Structure 1
Amino acid sequence: MDTLSRMAAFVAVIDAGGFSAAARKQGRSKAILSKYVAELEDRLGVRLLNRTTRTLAPTEAGQAYYREAAEILQRIGELEASVQDAHVELKGVLRVAAPRTLGEGPLMEAMMAFVAAAPDVSLDLHLDDRFVDLVEEGFDVAIRITELADSSLIAKKLSPMRLSVVASPRRIKESGTPKHPDELSALPCIIDTNARWRSNWGFVVDGARYPVSVKGRVEANSPAAAKVAALRGIGFAMLPYAIARQELIDGELVSVLDPFVCNGGAVYAVYPHRRHLSGKVRAFVDHMAAWFADPERLAEIGK
């Protein structure tokens, strides 16, 4: 019996909370698992488990061994999965959630390029600016614009998210060009209630975060609607650069306060777990990361 098999038996017993439960879960006999763990203890020359007729608990040495062994087994599983995925034809339905903010723009081209390159994959795409629950709602992967917080999800950064404060030339002519973020509090602004910053816009002044409270006549839960309001001269708007990029290039909108505007977090691909990740999800995430690694494409969304 090899060391990895003994190690796997020990980890299974700890995970299940006992020999009987581990045997039922693995479809093996309790006697075999007990034998493997005893052989492991003999090989190491230490006791890993304290056993009584009613309880079973790892010793201090057993706890330390379990942490390392579980990590080793997970890495082996990931290695085997990655090798298998590399030789498995990509197929099946890929359920992706993405923000409407970008899903109808730069992300769409990237996602459809993946579909074109993987003819046996069917894309089930849901555009929604809310944070979906991947596990509860059955999504394989989600694209999110956020500042990454602690999470049980695995995340791969695709791009930084650039923000711009914009206004129409007419609004600039009427209100003037603000030179400091504080001036916005007295100017008409457009509130994107779907954005995490809402009416509390974040800037950087003298190297420190500098929030400014703004207000205006228009509030909408859509950056696209906020952009239209800005184009109409209704006020200043803080938008993802990707949303306003073409209008800025065409001169229909003007960016202001650029030295003070902080970024909007980043764009991430997130998925529930790494172990035994399916080939279609792995390929999709790798494709999206490679797509936005191109400096020209990155310029459409990030910095």
Structure 2
Amino acid sequence: MDTLTRIRAFIDVVDAEGFSAAGRRVGRSKALLSKYVRELEDELGALLLNRTTRQFSLTEAGHLYYRTASDILKEIDNLADLVRAGNADLKGRLRISVPRTFVDAEIGQSLIDFTLAHPDMSLEIISDDRFVDLVEEGFDVAIRITKLEDSTLIARKLDDFDIRFCATPAYLARYGPFAHPSDLARVPCILDTNGRSYSNWRFVDGEGQGFSVPVSGPIEVNSPLAALRAAEAGLGVTGLPDFIARAKIEAGILVPLFDAFTPRDRGIYAIYPHRRYLPAKVRTFVDFLHGWFRKRAER
């Protein structure tokens, strides 16, 4: 029996939190898994699991071995995926974290188009506006709409992204004119609380120096689509992702403000953990999205 099989058995038992549950999950008997783990411990000369009749727990050595062995097995599986990718159609499941803003907007169509183009693959889409921990929470890839910060993760830019500040013509007739972003401090605004500084809107001056304007208003909501509807109702100025505001601006329903003061440091990114051997399914997914956004920009 090879060491790799014993390692997989140990990881299966830990992931399933028990020998019986692991046996049901992987289709092997509890006795066989117990045998593999015991042989692994004998080979290492260290106890990995504390066993009782009802439960087990990891020893200190077991914790260390589990973390390192899991990473090694992922690299082995990813390398195998890369080799298979040149000889067979891609299959499998991708677990991705996506902001609700992305899923609900028209650019969410990119995820549907990917699934149509790769019928043997499936997507588990977790829609969440928080920044998940990809490694700890088991995500293959995440989509983030943000100003990119330093990270140990790998990022590929899919598209540019701007915030458009806008309001209805009737609102501007009532509260305007606006000569400078600082004027927003004195009028009702609609705040999208998804932003890290949602009540201090960021701008840049003619020399590229950043400044912020404190804003407040009748509605604070963690949804740009709800903020859009509030702006259409004339409740205030709001800052919207360009891919949500564009159609309303082009239709004349909303009027853009201060485009010359808008920072250009944001983007839409695909983020994935740093791995020596990137899984072929992740590479294919990211390449597809990159191409999808390029075609969209050319239209």
TM-score exceeds 0.5 = yes
The code of the aligned residue for 2:186 comes to A
What is the TM-score normalised by the length of structure 2?
0.70
Tell me which residue corresponds to 1:214.
215
Question: Deviation string for 1:139-183 (max 9, x for gaps)?
Answer: 111000111112121111111111110101111111113121111
Tell me which residue corresponds to 1:291.
292
The code of the aligned residue for 2:169 comes to P
Question: Deviation string for 1:100-156 (max 9, x for gaps)?
Answer: 112122332111111111110011111111111212221111000111112121111
Tell me which residue corresponds to 1:116.
116
Q: Counterparts of 1:140 and 1:289 in 2: how far apart (Å)?
A: 17
Tell me which residue corresponds to 1:97.
97
Tell me which residue corresponds to 2:10.
none
Gaps of 5+ in 2: 1-39, 44-77
Q: Counterparts of 2:265 and 2:188 in 1: how far apart (Å)?
A: 22
- Structural mapping, 1:160-171, within 5 Å: 160-171=160-171
The code of the aligned residue for 2:270 comes to A
Tell me which residue corresponds to 1:75.
none
Determine whether 1:183 maps to 2:188: no
Question: Are the counterparts in 2 of residues 168 and 231 from structure 1 also a CA contact under 8 Å?
Answer: yes
Determine whether 1:140 maps to 2:140: yes
- State, as a whole percentage, how many aligned pairs show the same letter: 45
Give the match's secondary structure for 1:291.
Answer: helix
What is the TM-score normalised by the length of structure 1?
0.69
Tell me which residue corresponds to 2:270.
269
Tell me which residue corresponds to 2:252.
251
Cα pair distance change 1:253/1:131, threshold 3 Å: same
The code of the aligned residue for 2:118 comes to A
Gaps of 5+ in 1: 1-23, 28-77
- Structural mapping, 1:41-120, within 5 Å: 82=82, 84-120=84-120
Q: Counterparts of 1:179 and 1:278 in 2: how far apart (Å)?
A: 51
Q: Counterparts of 1:110 and 1:157 in 2: how far apart (Å)?
A: 15
Give the match's secondary structure for 1:94.
Answer: strand
Cα pair distance change 1:226/1:299, threshold 3 Å: farther
Tell me which residue corresponds to 1:42.
none
The code of the aligned residue for 1:298 comes to A
Query: 1:81: Cα distance to partner?
Result: 6.6
Cα pair distance change 1:264/1:298, threshold 3 Å: farther
Determine which structure has more spread, i.e. the larger CA radius of gyration: 1
Cα pair distance change 1:189/1:98, threshold 3 Å: same
Q: Counterparts of 2:234 and 2:111 in 1: how far apart (Å)?
A: 34
Cα pair distance change 1:175/1:199, threshold 3 Å: same
Q: Counterparts of 1:253 and 1:244 in 2: how far apart (Å)?
A: 8
Question: Are the counterparts in 2 of residues 166 and 238 from structure 1 also a CA contact under 8 Å?
Answer: yes
Query: 1:299: Cα distance to partner?
Result: 7.6
Q: Counterparts of 2:149 and 2:132 in 1: how far apart (Å)?
A: 15
Q: Counterparts of 2:130 and 2:271 in 1: how far apart (Å)?
A: 14
Question: Are the counterparts in 2 of residues 88 and 279 from structure 1 also a CA contact under 8 Å?
Answer: no
Determine whether 1:193 maps to 2:198: no
The code of the aligned residue for 1:174 comes to R
Question: Are the counterparts in 1 of residues 79 and 279 from structure 2 also a CA contact under 8 Å?
Answer: no
Q: Counterparts of 1:125 and 1:210 in 2: how far apart (Å)?
A: 36
Cα pair distance change 1:264/1:216, threshold 3 Å: farther
Give the match's secondary structure for 1:179.
Answer: coil
Deviating 4+ runs (over 6 angstroms): 78-81
Q: Counterparts of 1:299 and 1:139 in 2: how far apart (Å)?
A: 31
Question: Are the counterparts in 2 of residues 86 and 279 from structure 1 also a CA contact under 8 Å?
Answer: no
Query: 1:217: Cα distance to partner?
Result: 1.6
Question: Are the counterparts in 2 of residues 185 and 212 from structure 1 also a CA contact under 8 Å?
Answer: yes
Cα pair distance change 1:195/1:298, threshold 3 Å: farther
